[in-house]
Amino acid sequence: MRRFRLPLRSAASVFRPHAPRGLRVRLVVAFLLAAAFGALLTAGLTFHRARAAILDRAEETAVADLRTQLDSLAPDLTLPPTAEDLRGLTRQIDQAGGARAWRASASYRGGEPVAAAPGTPPVPDELRRAVQDSGRAVHQRTEHDGRPWLALGMPVAYTDDSGDTGTGTDTGTGADEDTHANTDADAGSLSGLTVYAVFPLDDDRADIDALVTAAEAGAVPALALALVPALFAARSVLRPVRRLRHGAERIAAGELDTRLDASGRDELADLTRSFNTMAETLERDAAELRRLEAGARRFAADVAHELRTPLAAMAAVTEVLDEDAASGVLPADTEDAVRLISEEVRALARTVEDLMEVSRFDAKAAPVHREDVDLRTLVTKTLQLRGWAHDERVRADLPEPAPVRVDPRRIDVVLGNLVANALHHGRPPVTVAVRVRGDRVEVTVTDRGPGIPDEALAYVFDRFYKADAARPRSGGSGLGLAIARENAALNDGSLTAANHPDGGAVFTLTLPSAASSLGTT
């Protein structure tokens, strides 16, 4: 015989949500989970109390009924009783049980219980030990043949000095957590007779199952009713969040004058006000930056424009002085000074021209005149114009036709700046290679120098950037690579910088290939 536990089916299986997506779904699911948890907790506590009340009532009633039967039947029993006397007593108790369907048995002085009805469930050993050890009435819930039963053990005691017997119990403890004690203030001396009664708890179990069924049936309507306030709560939370998202998208699109209506005193209203403050600050800072940038561009363009005329005059004068210096009519010190001035004037003139070109880029006013050409032809002309065609320091690798549609002047500027940069900052030989890659044409300029420092790779195309900050007088303005990248972009191309695995820097100019092939030149 094993101990009986009345089942409690969990209501958690009624609602098993899948992984939610979206803030609205998560809010609704969280609200419903909270409601379900509260309902489950309440139902569990209510079920526990109701179950305990039903079982306690059944136990108390059974103990009282059995005591009543013994009070009327035990005085007629002869002590010490025979087995037939015990069987007759249990038969009378079974007949008096009525609807409770007693299955009684009795024992004398620790003997085996004697039952009148066949098929009476055996008395649990722990219940018998508890009654014998304590001398008090004890009850225990058990299970037999898949049915719940309540087993009672009640010792019979003398109630007076005349020899009459009655039932007497005192506060006692059971053999385990399901065994309970009862009290009787009229307890006397024990007679050695113990009566056991076992009866089914089917009706009580049905009542408990009805409680569980009612709780499960009420869970779905409760969750359905909780869905309505959950949707309203999610809507009230998500409306300002949605407005904030739309506002952030408009600011990201450049509409810095975006403002949101802020009403209320909750956290979302405070967040909306903070958003408006942020947008106002961004708009003010962006306007100030645009003003400063426009002023800087205008200043650079105005300075470059104003310097062109005096620089042209200075260049003409230095050319005359260069001729005198070359003829040897000037003293040696004067000759050195003249050459120095000439170099600086030419460098300043190149810087001014670069600034003028940059100002045209910024103003989106740089003209582009496209032509269908072979990129190999542009590379060859660039090397010839700058005296690098027969220079052993520069090599050309032009294996196949590379048709492009570009502005030849601007591509010449790009190639000239890249080769000059490689000769100045790297080590020869400098290789200019042209390759066709599908619908793109690539020109790579590779040197054998130390390469570009890793920390400088991301900035080599910035204006006025020089990798060696300790040597600002490096012979260039720091605008050559920036102008080269701008010219590449004007021709729908790109310009990138990297380091070769074997050493040296690699600059790659990528241009779209022309639709028609031009053949070999």
Provide the residue-wise pLDDT of the chain in tens; the chain has 521 residues: 333 333 334 333 433 444 455 666 767 777 777 777 777 777 777 777 777 777 777 777 777 777 777 777 777 777 788 778 787 887 877 777 665 677 778 888 877 787 777 767 777 878 778 877 777 778 777 777 777 777 878 888 765 444 444 444 443 333 333 433 333 434 445 667 888 888 777 677 777 777 777 766 666 676 677 777 777 777 777 777 788 888 888 888 888 888 888 777 777 788 888 988 998 898 888 888 888 777 776 776 677 677 777 877 877 777 777 777 777 777 777 878 878 888 888 777 777 777 777 777 777 778 889 999 999 999 999 999 989 988 889 999 998 899 999 999 999 999 999 999 899 888 889 999 999 988 899 999 999 988 888 888 888 888 877 665 444 445 556 788 888 899 899 999 999 999 988 888 999 999 998 854 444 44
Sequence-distant contacts of 256-259: CB under 8 A, at least 24 apart = 256/282, 256/283, 256/286, 257/283
- Give the DSSP per-residue string, 126-167: HHHHHHHHH-S-EEEEEEETTEEEEEEEEEEEE-STTS-EEE
Q: At what angle do helices 267-327 and 332-362 cross, to 10 degrees?
A: 150
pLDDT at 176: 37
Peptide bond into 512 cis (omega under 30): no
List C-alpha distances in Å: 209 to 8, 122, 213, 216, 484. Answer: 8, 26, 6, 11, 85
Contacts of 308 (CB under 8 A, 6+ apart): 352, 356
Considering only the top CATH level, what class is 267-362? mainly alpha
Distance between first and last Cα of the chain: 106
- Domain 2-208 in CATH 3.30.450.20? The answer is yes
pLDDT at 218: 67
Other Cβ atoms within 10 Å of 215 Cβ, number: 22
What sign does the dihedral 15-18-20-21 (CA atoms) show? Answer: negative
Q: Rounded distance, CA 21 to CA 8, Å?
A: 33
pLDDT at 475: 52
pLDDT at 129: 81
Q: Rounded distance, CA 151 to CA 104, Å?
A: 9
Strand partners, 155: 194
Tokens standing for 231? Answer: 């949707």
Helices (H), 363-479: 375-385, 408-425
Report phi then psi at 499, rounded to 5: -110, 135
How do 505-512 and 494-499 pair as beta strands?
antiparallel
Tokens standing for 405? Answer: 């549609």
Domain map (residue ranges) of the chain: 2-208, 267-362, 371-512
Of the options 2.30.30.30, 3.40.50.10860, 3.30.565.10, 3.30.930.10, the CATH number for the domain spanning 371-512? 3.30.565.10
Helices vs. strands in the chain: H and E counts, helices first: 9, 15
